[in-house]
Amino acid sequence: MPRNVMIFAAGFGTRMRELTKTTPKPLLEVDGTTLLDHAINAADRAGLQKKIVNVSYLGQQIVAHLKHRRDILISEEGDHALETGGGLKKALPLLGENPVFTMNPDAIWTGANPFAELLAAWDPERMDGLLLLQPLETAISHAGKGDFTLAPDGHLKRFAGEGRAFVNTGVEIIRTDLVSAQDAEAFSLNLVWDEMLRSRRLFGVVHNGGWVDVGTPEGITAANDHLNGQVDV
């Protein structure tokens, strides 16, 4: 069972426009707490043991921000954009376990702990990956059209315009041997998910609570409103 988590903090945050010219997106604040700390706090509450944070763009600010946390290790990526899959692959020696959790910190959660939800549904006999989902109609500040459809038994398919659409919330459990087997240095985890979809070993579970996509300045406003009770979900 997974006990360690990779938190992705190496992106450029270009959709945040002026806000990320001098500040990395994970250090932007919602309700007085950085996005990165919201993610770390969720991992702490779930009792996860080891936390790895990757850094690239303005990464030294993140390193300085985390210097007091002896339980958090940094995966340095330099100036290279390794994407989610490449970043996870580079950090595997630090994570040291298979499977692991991964989390994108550019979201705000209410309700059940996302890691606990995934852990309760994880079945390694059937699954190579398990994604936490939010119904598109309740995904606050999300501009996309949905990522997956969800079968009654939990199997996922790419959303193709028919059926109920679900959004990938950015938290998952994933087998790392499928990541390390990729030849490329930089790649998206979508490549690994596609392999799992072909073998019918990619599953999903729906989050019991609210979720806000914090990818834009408008998302920060929506997240503040949500945490202060101004949005119903």
Contact 96, 106 (CB under 8 A): no
Residue whose structure tokens are 């998206």? 188
Assigned domain for 150 exists: yes
Looking at residue 13, its pLDDT comes to: 83
| 53 vs 8: CA distance, rounded Å | 6
Assigned domain for 232 exists: no
CATH number for the domain including 73?
Answer: 3.90.550.10
Assigned domain for 45 exists: yes
Provide the residue-wise pLDDT of the chain in tens; the chain has 233 residues: 999 999 999 988 888 989 999 999 999 999 999 999 999 999 999 999 999 999 999 999 999 999 999 889 999 998 888 999 999 999 999 999 999 999 999 999 999 999 999 999 999 999 999 999 999 999 999 998 999 999 999 999 999 999 999 999 999 999 999 999 999 999 999 999 999 999 999 999 999 999 999 999 999 999 999 999 876 55
Q: Structural domain of residue 139, as residue ranges? A: 4-227
Residue 95, classed as helix, strand or coil, is helix
| 89 vs 95: CA distance, rounded Å | 10
Give the torsion sign (CA, 109, 113, 116, 122). Answer: negative
| 233 vs 112: CA distance, rounded Å | 14
Assigned domain for 24 exists: yes
Of residues 7, 96, 117, 26, the one with CA closest to residue 64 = 26
The whole model's pTM is what? 0.95
Assigned domain for 233 exists: no
Looking at residue 194, its pLDDT comes to: 98
Assigned domain for 82 exists: yes
| 131 vs 150: CA distance, rounded Å | 11
Question: Total domain count for the chain?
Answer: 1
Residue whose structure tokens are 């998910």? 193
